[in-house]
Amino acid sequence: MNKNYKILNNINFPSDIKKLSNNELKTLAQEVRDEMIDAVSETGGHLGAGLGVVELTVALHYIFNTPNDKLIWDVGHQSYPHKILTGRKDKIRTLRKGNGLSGFTKRAESEYDPFGAAHSSTSISSALGIAIANKLSNKSDNVISVIGDGAISAGMAYEAINNAGSSKTKLIVILNDNDMSIAKPVGAMRSYLAKIFAGKTYFSLRETVKLIISAFSKRFSKKAGKAEDFLRSAVTGGTLFSSMGFYYVGPIDGHDIDALISVLKNAKEVNYEGPIMIHIKTEKGKGYSFAEKSEDKYHGVTKFNVNTGVQEKSKSIAPSYTKVFASTLVKHAEKDSKIIGITAAMPSGTGMDIFGKKFPSRMFDVGIAEQHAVTFAAGLATEGYKPYAAIYSTFLQRAYDQVVHDVAIQSLPVRFAIDRAGLVGADGPTHAGSFDITYLSTLPNFVVMAASDESELVKMINTSVDINDRPSAFRYPRGNGIGIKLPNLNDKLQIGKGRIIKEGKNVALINFGARLNECLIARENLSKKGINLTLVDARFAKPLDENLIWQIATDHEALITIEEGSIGGFGSHVAQFLNEKKLLDNNLKFRSMFLPDRFIDHDKPDLMYKYAGLDAVNIENKILDTINSTVVIKKSN
């Protein structure tokens, strides 16, 4: 850490902040901002969101008695300043590295993180749970939730607001309105918040704060008087939140520490039995010119040069899987006007921004609303359109009921493009695509594919265009491909048919997904030891290529499956087939390789796969262990 910081060098915990004057707090805020920029330039990570809440973070820890008072950050993208001020400043350059700080809030990391979060829109629900627990335990500690204008657009946030509004329980919700999430917020909520800010007379900050303080001093009495009424109607127009049972204040300048301290102090001290909504206006990327000018406000960055803002570029010459998906879908959409693109607040992350630029009327960013996205796609499918719902594996989990009830049961041809399949590196277990093979392959009449390389991904997209009688999904990893030639749009797969990559004898390895290259390395190493195994790329977890599996099982003494997913996925379906066909009665040695039964902490992807036992060395060892094992799996009784 820079030893020249005047204030920050002496701040180790929030208790140290309380000794500072208001002017010193402003200096501290600038030093926290500088330290954060410098640290993230070395580590990469989420920059813009944290820069936007520096003053708010300082003010919250100055006013409230954390960790006794519980401070919950929605998503956690913006928690880096919070980490710097809560005993973790000396570790801030370990962000997102192996054995280092998480890029999100994490209960196991600090007592100042009362609730772990990396998916959006959970903060009000969890905060209300803690507040109710305090109430039942006769504790007077405050509970504060900080949620952004993007996250508050999700349905879960409104479920929580609805519940909180009728709970008669004190809870402070800070709506951080920066007109940004990862991409620009969409929908009616964005328009509503904009109307609040600009629609009626907006007072000077001094007058606004004066009225706020006046209103709070009346302790929220029903007879609060004209100052309160005037503030709530003329300044805010916050009728939506008020009608849902919240006492609404704002909007106020979220970069003015004096204003924040005044409002937060009164919110803390007021004797009000109910939830309070404090609406602040901030700027994502505040204080770093390159972030302020960037379209995404430097939401997520690689390592960068602080002086120029230039980020490190990938050294790979191969295109990313995401870009391969987007460019292939665009080519199909040029020929097929029925193709529709859908994303849930992740246009750049899924490549749907590329699709949207080409077909603006056929791309729909529905906001942080995966449940709605899936059922919206189902509705389109009923009318003969070909919706592609491009959603990260970890986020599709949030819409599983809709996948089952609204898509699978009705056998609607929604196409799911599942990005970030498998382990994802620095984002850690909250963003890993560990479970989609399992949770989709259990569904009747679903087509589930996994690309072993970028060429296979193109073929799977090509194939999905013509699947019009049932839902389908194709999964692919984060990062770049392996650098091979891409096929044309007419190169399609036969549904439920795998391929033999290399033929050998005695031992067969069936791959499902992007571990194929590691399998090839393991096979090459084993060949030097005189072991020539058969390598198969399954392509489909559902429907299984039963004929191929039967052939492999009867021609080999040992059969091993491998996948980048949890137990219950591809390997489990193969085992069930072998068992039903009594192939395990013939002394066939069968093993499955999958993600271990634990969450794997963030690290470099190759190291994560090593820890998971799914790298070339572990594959080789598994094969040797299977060959040398005398234990044979018997049919279960």
Residues assigned a catalytic role: 284, 370, 398
Q: d(Cα 117, Cα 110) in Å, to the nearest integer?
A: 13
On whether the CB atoms of residues 576 and 583 are closer than 8 A, the answer is: no
Q: Give the other-Cβ count within 10 Å of 437's Cβ.
A: 33
H helix count then E strand count, the chain = 26, 19
The one-letter code for the residue type at 227 is: A
Q: d(Cα 566, Cα 429) in Å, to the nearest integer?
A: 13
Task: Name every residue whose Cβ is closer than 8 Å to that of residue 629 and which is 6 or more positions away in sequence.
Answer: 589
Q: Which helix (H) or strand (E) holds 249?
A: strand 247-253
Closest CA to 334 of 324, 346, 326: 326
Joined tokens for residue 132: 């109710």
Beta strands in 465-588 (DSSP E): 472-475, 499-502, 506-512, 534-537, 540-542, 556-563
- Exposure string (b/e) for 472-482, b if CB count within 10 Å is 16 or more? bbbbbbbbbbe
Name the DSSP class of 635: P
The one-letter code for the residue type at 160 is: A
Joined tokens for residue 354: 């590329």
Name the DSSP class of 281: E
What are all long-range contacts of 595-600, with beta carbons under 8 Å and residues at least 24 apart? 595/423, 595/434, 595/564, 595/565, 595/566, 595/567, 597/566, 597/567, 599/429, 599/432, 600/423, 600/428, 600/429, 600/432
- Give me the torsion for CA of 502, 504, 508, 509, rounded to 10°: -30
Q: Cα separations (Å) of 340 from 78, 333, 366, 392, 472? A: 33, 8, 13, 17, 15
Q: What's the 3-state SS for 547-583? A: HHHHHHHHHEEEEEEEECCCCCCHHHHHHHHHHHCCH
Q: d(Cα 257, Cα 20) in Å, to the nearest integer?
A: 13
Determine the 3-state secondary structure of 144 from DSSP.
strand
The values of phi and psi at residue 117, to 5°, are -155, 140
Q: Which helix (H) or strand (E) holds 591?
A: strand 589-593
On whether the CB atoms of residues 186 and 365 are closer than 8 A, the answer is: yes
Q: d(Cα 37, Cα 2) in Å, to the nearest integer?
A: 12
The one-letter code for the residue type at 32 is: V
β pairing state of 540-542 and 447-450: antiparallel
Task: Name every residue whose Cβ is closer than 8 Å to that of residue 215 and which is 6 or more positions away in sequence.
Answer: 224, 227, 228, 231, 232, 249
Strands across the sheet containing 386-392 = 363-365, 339-343, 386-392, 415-419, 472-475, 447-450, 540-542
Q: Which helix (H) or strand (E) holds 401?
A: helix 400-402
